[in-house]
Amino acid sequence: MSKYITTPIYYVNGEAHIGHAYTTFIADTMARYERLKGEDTFFLTGTDEHGQKIEESAEKAGKPTQEFADEISATFKNLWDEFGISYDKFIRTTDEAHMKGVQKAFEVMYAKGDIYKDFYEGHYCVSCETFFPETQLVDGEFCPDCGRSTSVVKEESYFFKLSKYEDRLLKHYEENPEFIMPKSRANEVVNFVKGGLRDLSVTRTSFSWGVKMPASINDDKHVMYVWLDALLNYVTALGYGSDEALMNYWPADVHFVGKDILRFHAIYWPAFLMSLDLPLPKHIGAHGWWTRDGEKMSKSKGNVVSPKEVADAYGVENLRYFMLREVPFGQDGDFSQRAFIDRINSELSNDLGNLLNRIIGMSGKYSEFVIDSKDAEKYHAKELENMNSVLDSLDSFMENLQTHRYLEELWKLFAIGNGVIQEYEPWVKMKNNQEDEALATVAVVANILAKAAVMLHPVMPETTKIIANALSFEINNESYKELVVDKKLLKVFTIEKVPPLFPRVEEPLMTEAPKSEPNPPKETKKEEKTTQSQDNLIEIGQFFETSLKVGTIVEAEEVPKSKKLLKLQVDLGEDKTRQVVAGIKEFYSPEELKNTQVCVVANLKPAKLMGMISEGMLLAAKDEDGLCLIRPEKPKKAGTPIG
């Protein structure tokens, strides 16, 4: 059975950041996991190199566009090679075969009547390379996705009949509830499609850096718009439009993407495939963003995390483990050196590394580094049963892209191993001439570590090779089947001494990110402060004009096209719930808000935000460390007055 796993193709207007590394680590882990199970797996990554933004960036750098794209693309490929990413193909949208495949797809869609020529006039965001209707703009000018200023563009364009596929898309979402993962992200896509799809501009005439039109169309002034070009990489990499040698891998099992490009992958891409009469991918996996020490990363703040800098300081394997363990897939994560160091010292050094050290020490002292598993089942049937129960649970977590839960569950094996040593005290057994029991304990712990190393291999491939060498076996599909599927034990084997895997980290190994400073207080005379304070005083009656109530959030969802807003349904003890639109998306996910209580300003006039009515305001506190909602100390009845 074949498997096909992809990352997005990364845009070459800047070097790789920590978010790119996270996506790539997840995809690489999944590909390695499938290969371990014996699946014929094809893993694709690469770079997106066309569009107006690249043309402008190259011009700003004073370089020919192709040379600029070559240089940035090489930084991605070199970094992934340095990180040991096991991709089967690194595609570039400037590859000749890719461009031919895109031209072929355009011809098929055009012949089918799904592409037509017209004029487009609308607001265009160069950064997002997306057109937006005026109703979706912030303050009538700014992009709803990135916040940058848009410009009004009018030009001739070819359009894809996206509206034609609205019903088919909704039907597909309904019939395939796991098409978008995690499921919590599906609502925003479904709501966007239900709001009505407009036909999509797929060519431009205002710049030239893109895939040229097919010769059969005979319209040289147009180049293909970046999303039609870019998304097709997933099939052109397999030979679509050329030799089609690898098309047996299609459809993709999972496209891993950041949540900011979910709409393009879950709406535009399936519609393109429907037009081409190609099967749809099985899953679109959308992950969250990363902050640093609780703050959004930005070049101006100087707090952008370079994956190479982290890997050089702490090691690639440690970085892989931290990122895949730290955050539930789909939610935003935070890169903190202190949290990173804690996981290295506690989980990697204490739990895993120390277990290997204890096996090496005991086997050397008791049996000249030779371990025989003949009595392991006799004395430790209960521990082996617990171990097998954990091993049997792991596959479901990986299948659901929940790497943090996979690792959390896997770590139970190290707890079992360390617990066996503490409970049975083999050193006491040796003193009491119970050698068989002592050696059986060492053997069972070594087997637990061996099986755990097999399952940790997709996440930490180099570290687990060292563990496997120490235990005199190789990690591959054969050992996976023997040790995990068939539940066999290593028989007689010799331990090889290895240095400690995870030396403790006592101090941060990188420069800490600068903290945002609150605005310094203005220097004013004492008399002025007193006057200011007196001017702001209110009568108690004025305070009681504000109605504050405890509310229970019964529903919460993201607002499509907004980076800040969540739409909440709040129970205030009235006949029906109130809709409150709150700018807290950067700090709370819909899942963690549902069925929690908040404090609400209940007598505000309804306001309209991005076309939605908001019937109240949540009380919150915000400082340089972020925002938190003001909540009742103990649960209260919905509608309870505050005052």
d(CA 582, CA 85): 40
For the cut 90, the answer to whether the pLDDT of residue 153 exceeds it is no
| Residue-level pLDDT at 531 | 37
Q: Which of 283, 249, 256, 254 is nearest to 2 (CA)?
A: 249
Q: Which of 124, 133, 117 is nearest to 154 (CA)?
A: 124
2-113+158-307: CATH topology: Rossmann fold (3.40.50)
Q: Classify residue 325 as left (phi > 0), alpha (psi -120 to 50) or beta.
A: alpha
Compute CA 2 distance to the chain's CA centroid, rounded to the nearest angstrom. 24
d(CA 476, CA 463): 14
The residue among 51 and 31 whose pLDDT is bigger is: 31
pLDDT confidence bin for 518, thresholds 50/70/90: low
Average pLDDT, stretch 25-38?
A: 98
pLDDT confidence bin for 527, thresholds 50/70/90: very low
| Residue-level pLDDT at 528 | 39
Q: Which helix (H) or strand (E) holds 125?
A: strand 115-125
| pTM given for the model | 0.78
Q: Helix, strand, or coil here: 460?
A: coil
Is residue 628 marked as binding? no
Would you say the CATH fold of 538-642 matches that of 2-113+158-307? no
Is residue 143 marked as binding? yes
| Residue-level pLDDT at 538 | 54
538-642: CATH topology: OB fold (Dihydrolipoamide Acetyltransferase, E2P) (2.40.50)
Q: Which of 584, 567, 20, 609 is nearest to 260 (CA)?
A: 20
Q: Tell how many helices (H) and how many strands (E) occur in the chain.
A: 24, 27
Share above pLDDT 90 across residues of the chain, in percent, rounded to a whole number: 73
Average pLDDT, stretch 481-510?
A: 96
Q: What is the mean pLDDT of the chain?
A: 91
Is residue 599 marked as binding? no
For the cut 90, the answer to whether the pLDDT of residue 437 exceeds it is yes
| Residue-level pLDDT at 643 | 72
Of 46-55, 302-311, 507-516, the poorest mean pLDDT is in 507-516
| Residue-level pLDDT at 539 | 54
Exposure on the CB side of residue 612, measured as CA atoms within 13 A: 23
* Count of CB atoms situated within 10 Å of the CB of 240: 24
Which residues, in sequence order, are CB contacts of 260 under 8 Å at separation 6+?
145, 289
Average pLDDT, stretch 253-268?
A: 96
Q: Which helix (H) or strand (E) holds 531?
A: helix 526-536
| Residue-level pLDDT at 589 | 85
Q: Which of 27, 401, 52 is nearest to 207 (CA)?
A: 52
Share above pLDDT 70 across residues of the chain, in percent, rounded to a whole number: 95
| Residue-level pLDDT at 194 | 96
Written as six digits, the tokens of 91 are 């595609």
Cα of first residue to Cα of last residue in the chain, in angstroms, is 64
Question: In which order are the strands placed within the sheet that holds 2-11?
Answer: 89-92, 40-48, 2-11, 254-258, 284-287, 180-181
- Amino acid identity for residue 405 in this structure: R
Average pLDDT, stretch 511-522?
A: 63
Domain positions in the chain are 2-113+158-307, 335-494, 538-642
Of 37-46, 494-503, 551-560, the poorest mean pLDDT is in 551-560
pLDDT confidence bin for 323, thresholds 50/70/90: very high
335-494: CATH topology: Isoleucyl-tRNA Synthetase; Domain 1 (1.10.730)
